[in-house]
Amino acid sequence: MSASLRPVSSDDTYAEWLEVGDRCFVRRYEYLDVSCSLVLGEVGALVVDTRASLEQGRELAEQVRELTTLPVSAVVNTHVHFDHLFGNGAFAGVPVIAHESVPVELPAHGARIQKAYETELDDPDREAALATVVVPPDVTFSSVWAVDLGDRHVELAYLGRGHTAGDIVVRVPDADVVCAGDLVEESAHPSYGSDCYPLEWASTLESVSELLGPTTVIVPGHGRAVDKEFVLQQRLDVVDVAEQIREFAAAGASVDDAVRRGSWPYPRDDLRDAVTRGFAHALPR
Ligand SMILES: [Zn+2]
């Protein structure tokens, strides 16, 4: 991480809601360092992401109740990954909103994660994750959506693929707050998994940055809130990864070769999926 990547908030606590904008709260959780957000309006509340198991989702729901007596109008899942939606079942009767790709990809992703947990004997979330009945989003959209909370609307926007096929951003215009899911990470570098789109991620971030002003607070999926400058800097590294993948692909390199020889901005062992996926996208069969 370069010195110019500055988080907005220096708050490192995992034990309370932090108000990052008018009636926009964020809570960080130690397990996987995932963040959930809560937006309050005149008539209801919006929950963004629900953590990594039904049990954790129930704890989140209790913590929402500690902050407000408003009904939860809707839950949003920023993307398909389990640490952002396995807790959906804790919000029974509440619409769960996500990009249209999420319910399509969730059965395979959920099964893969629960299979992986079977061998993670020391993981503190193991039992709860295995016991979780995964509840998919039941309201989906392709490009834009809005949630009416009475005195304010919360905008949901799909701006392209990147971390996954269905990353969305959640924007509270009057508070100048944007929840970016895992399109942006602060406490770790961007996560390139087996379902990432490494060659498209930078242009998606460019579109995200169009929504950001100099005072916008951006809430990443993991870590502290950041500013536009952080997003633009992180985008440059994502551009770097994509350019190197394209060059290695054009040169006919193997994945092993590219991973070993690249001058990557992130640990090379974390980029194997990025290279594999990038090669497949750059050289479609
Ligand atoms: Zn993710």
Q: Which residue has the higher pLDDT, 12 or 169?
A: 169
Q: Residue 6: exposed, middle, or buried by beta-carbon count in 10 A (0-12, 13-18, 19+)? A: middle
What pLDDT, on the 0 to 100 scale, is given for residue 284? 67
Q: For residue 12, name the pLDDT band (cuts at 50, 70, 90).
A: low
Q: 182 C-alpha vs ligand 1 centroid, how far in Å?
A: 5
Q: 66 C-alpha vs ligand 1 centroid, how far in Å?
A: 27
pTM for the structure as a whole: 0.94
What pLDDT, on the 0 to 100 scale, is given for residue 15? 75
CA angle 177, 136, 153 (to 5 degrees): 30
Q: 262 C-alpha vs ligand 1 centroid, how far in Å?
A: 24
Q: 191 C-alpha vs ligand 1 centroid, how far in Å?
A: 7
Q: 83 C-alpha vs ligand 1 centroid, how far in Å?
A: 7
Q: For residue 283, name the pLDDT band (cuts at 50, 70, 90).
A: confident
Q: Which CATH class is domain 18-282?
A: alpha beta
For residue 36, pLDDT over 90 is answered with yes
Q: Which residue has the higher pLDDT, 3 or 68?
A: 68
Q: What is the mean pLDDT of residues 161-176?
A: 98
Q: CA-CA distances (angstroms) from residue 71 to 43, 46, 64, 75, 138?
A: 8, 9, 10, 11, 18
First to last CA, the chain: 36
Q: 162 C-alpha vs ligand 1 centroid, how far in Å?
A: 10
Nearest-Å Rg of the Cα atoms of the chain is 18
Q: 220 C-alpha vs ligand 1 centroid, how far in Å?
A: 10
Q: For residue 3, name the pLDDT band (cuts at 50, 70, 90).
A: very low
Least-confidence region, from 27-31, 109-113, 281-285: 281-285
Q: How far is residue 138 CA from its own chain's centroid?
A: 19
Q: 44 C-alpha vs ligand 1 centroid, how far in Å?
A: 27
For residue 14, pLDDT over 80 is answered with no
* Nearest to 156, CA basis, from 167, 185, 38, 201: 167
Structure confidence by residue, pLDDT tens digits, 209-222? 999 999 999 999 99
Mean pLDDT across the chain, nearest whole number?
95
What pLDDT, on the 0 to 100 scale, is given for residue 8? 59
CA gap 175, 121 in Å, rounded? 43
Q: 87 C-alpha vs ligand 1 centroid, how far in Å?
A: 14
Where are the domains positioned within the chain?
18-282
Beta carbons within 10 angstroms of residue 277's beta carbon: 20
CB 282 within 8 A of CB 249: yes
Least-confidence region, from 2-11, 108-117, 145-154, 189-198: 2-11
Q: 183 C-alpha vs ligand 1 centroid, how far in Å?
A: 8
The residue assigned the tokens 């100048």 is: 176
Query: Whats the size of the chain, residue-wise?
Result: 285
For residue 39, pLDDT over 50 is answered with yes
Q: What is the mean pLDDT of residues 108-135?
A: 95
Structure confidence by residue, pLDDT tens digits, 237-251? 999 999 999 999 999
Q: For residue 2, name the pLDDT band (cuts at 50, 70, 90).
A: very low
Q: Tokens in use for 273? A: 């999926």
